[in-house]
Chain A
Amino acid sequence: MVGKNCFAIASDRRLGVQLQTVATDFQRVFKIHDKLYIGLSGLATDVQTLYQRLVFRHKLYQLREERDMKPQTFASLVSALLYEKRFGPYFCQPVIAGLGEDNEPFICTMDCIGAKELAKDFVVSGTASESLYGACESMYKPNMEPEELFETVSQALQASVDRDCLSGWGGYVLVVTPTEIQERG
């Protein structure tokens, strides 16, 4: 979700196999660099593999270009990577959030074969995505400060995952401003 010169990215912590909960500390939100984060929902193995492949590509980019990737560029990279597997896709839906040039917040999501969807307010993915759309739509306000953004995102996350039996077992919220990063489990 986008706020005033900041963004928040959040996920639940459950890892399950249909009705069985296997872990309650599963990491779904990953850091690419200080001002760029990606959240991946879907099949756990694809979440981890996709993240590792993205780190590979980003590290080489950093070494060759001697700078961090811009969020828009990174989103294009993710989209291309997903489309490579068009006929045998990664079962993953990414949510990308970052601060671009001049610390302008950038968010986008895509489907599992790389169709980008840019948004100015919020993006969601996962089994509770329909509830999340509803909760975010009603709770979102433009230009929220980091503390208010944090509250809004937490409330939206809790409200939606509580109504979804496959989501929950803890939450993780990250708020990123140009000067600091706030994590809350």
Chain B
Amino acid sequence: MSRRYDSRTTIFSPEGRLYQVEYAMEAIGNAGSALAVLAADGVVLVGEKKVTSKLLQTSRSAEKMYKIDSHLACAVAGIMSDANILINTARLHAQRYALSYQEPIPVEQLVQSLCDTKQGYTQFGGLRPFGVSFLFAGWDKHHGFQLYMSDPSGNYSGWKAAAVGANSQAAQSMLKQDYRDGLTREEAVALALKVLSKTMDSTSLTAEKLELAEVFLQPGTGEVQYQVCSPEAMGKLLAKSGLSQPAPEA
């Protein structure tokens, strides 16, 4: 019935939907989840690593979190290869802005430019959309700490707490219940870990399955810092919040 309208990105279906874009979002729904929470003094990004095999070579680089500029980072859910292209584009765009204006790019502008790129793939060219959703976290002097979520359609909006990837609906509603304004970074980390532990498919949370990063202002210098939590610190955090035990049998 509507199968005739889903093979090309550049046409609407009779119901007014873009099927390719929706299918892209389906692909993301199968990927590892990522959560972000905006705190008063920073932004917390948490990601679930889907593939943990003993054979995987653990390199230094993160799988879910990427730094885009010194004041901007993002968490990724979806097709990793698509994400790499977009992150490279984002990094170049941020540096070109800094070269022209000699100041760091405002967060919303970077998000907007990336979303404009994503939108292009839904309207012309005949190429499929990117199968990635992003959670952008950053700080700029205009609006302080900010969190944005963007999806394959090229839509974006600012959020206080957001989730993408597998079980994002459940995670989002849980965040809605438990989020309060004016959280500190520590409370935001605890909230993010709690929500993630409830929505993740696996039974227990271990440091290898998670990635945690924070964007905050360095207390002494006031510079924006992006810090990825080390596995040891991760283990301590999980133990502290009592989440490292496997879920009790029903």
Contacts and interface: CB of A to CB of B under 8 A. Distances in A.
Interface of A: 52-53, 55-56, 59-60, 63-64, 66
B196 interface: no
B128 interface: no
Interface in B86-108: 88, 91-92, 95-96, 98-99, 102
Given A66-B60, A66-B61, A60 B99 contact: no
Nearest to B59: A66
A60 B88 CA distance: 9
Interface string B56-89: 0000110000011110000000000000000010
Given A55-B99, A59-B69, A60-B95, 11 more contacts: A52-B102, A53-B99, A56-B96, A56-B99, A59-B70, A60-B91, A63-B67, A63-B68, A63-B69, A64-B88, A66-B60
Interface in B150-207: none
Contacts of A52: 99, 102
Contact of B98 (A56, A63, A64, A66): A56
Contacts of A66: 60-61
Contacts of A59: 69-70, 95, 98
16 contacts: A52-B102, A55-B98, A56-B95, A56-B96, A56-B98, A59-B70, A59-B95, A59-B98, A60-B91, A60-B92, A63-B68, A63-B69, A63-B91, A64-B88, A64-B91, A66-B60
B101 to A, nearest CB: 11
A90 to B, nearest CB: 15
Contacts of A53: 99
A27 to B, nearest CB: 14
A24 to B, nearest CB: 22
B185 to A, nearest CB: 24
Interface pairs A-B: 5 shortest CB-CB: A56-B99, A56-B95, A63-B91, A52-B99, A59-B95
Contacts of B96: 56
Contacts of B98: 55-56, 59
Nearest to A57: B95
Contacts of A55: 98-99
A60 B91 CA distance: 7
Nearest to A67: B60
Contacts of B92: 60
Which of A52, A63, A64: most chain B Cβ within 10 A? A63
A68 to B, nearest CB: 14
B98 to A, nearest CB: 7
A64 B91 CA distance: 9
B221 to A, nearest CB: 14
Contacts of B60: 66
A14 B61 CA distance: 44
A109 to B, nearest CB: 25
B146 to A, nearest CB: 20
A66 B61 CA distance: 8
A66 B62 CA distance: 11
Contacts of B95: 56, 59-60
Contacts of B88: 64
A63 to B, nearest CB: 5
Contacts of A63: 67-69, 91
A66 B95 CA distance: 16
Interface string B108-149: 000000000000000000000000000000000000000000
